[in-house]
A = this chain, B = another copy of it.
């Protein structure tokens, strides 16, 4: 069990929880995991951001006028000062607007093509291999105990859904993220179809929104929550507050050699204390990537 988890207190606490989970009524066995920095690598830049920047470059090469839009110019030039002034929300909205009016299948196809054709800028391995092997093992153990495993991400719902089945075995309806809107239209012959509408993307699925959206989208309280950033705090607290056994797992990115060493922050979040301090204070299982994992990525 959990071959990539080194012996120690983190592994022990995970195993203890797994063993106790047989006491929990099956309908309460819901596990939710953040994605960026929890299931896959989020450095040197959010995967989704790299995808959108590639899409932006492709769009501008076909339609050069686009490049003069202030948000796109700042992003393409890597103009840190302009980027900071505009803020992540405005830039994210501008990027999502690249797919305004497109059908869901078009976007999904683009994401899959990107994953198949893109290597990680530092590791030079395909992006689909940038998932954490120990977390895949934990997901397997949970599933073998009849847990429903879901992803609750600050990233775009559709972006993660496009690859969640292949990477994690998680079906699209079990991915809860930041949503774009859809509008139904009709073709000339009357068949309905959907197009993307960017505007709703501003309600980021971070912090307390993760807790509300878990209820709205999944309809029950999780008893396992895994995360790594300030944007996951409320979700982990919520799982930890369940009656009976629960597991709040926080990944500490302290492995400069095999991964990255950094203090995790969700996109637009400023936390009062480092989230690892919060986790230790609240009694969560804080996982040291450097010490607790014998392997980070799959073979």
Contacts and interface: CB of A to CB of B under 8 A. Distances in A.
A46 interface: no
Given A241-B191, A241-B193, A184 B161 contact: no
A157 B219 contact: yes
A216 B215 CA distance: 15
Interface in A134-191: 148, 150, 157-158, 161, 165, 171-175, 179, 181-184, 190-191
Q: Which of A148, A175, A215 has the most CB of B within 10 A?
A: A215
A192 B208 contact: yes
A238 interface: yes
B173 A212 contact: no
Nearest to A235: B192
This protein's copies in its complex:
2
Given A165-B27, A192-B237, A234-B192, A172 B219 contact: yes
A216 B182 contact: yes
Contacts of A218: 172-173
Interface in A47-89: none
B193 A161 contact: no
A211 interface: yes
Contacts of A219: 157-158, 161, 172-173, 175
A267 interface: no
Contacts of A208: 184, 192
A220 interface: yes
Given A173-B174, A182-B211, 7 more contacts: A104-B221, A148-B173, A172-B218, A172-B219, A173-B219, A184-B208, A184-B212
Query: Which residue of A183, A234, A241 has the most chain B CB atoms within 10 A of its CB atom?
Result: A241
A184 B148 contact: no
A27 B182 CA distance: 21
Contacts of A202: none
A290 interface: no
A24 interface: no
Contacts of A240: 191
A172 B33 CA distance: 18
A192 B222 CA distance: 13
A24 to B, nearest CB: 15
Nearest to A150: B173
A217 interface: yes
A194 interface: yes
B157 A190 contact: no
B173 A237 contact: no
Name the residue in A158, A165, A183, A192 with the highest tally of chain B Cβ atoms < 10 Å from its Cβ. A192
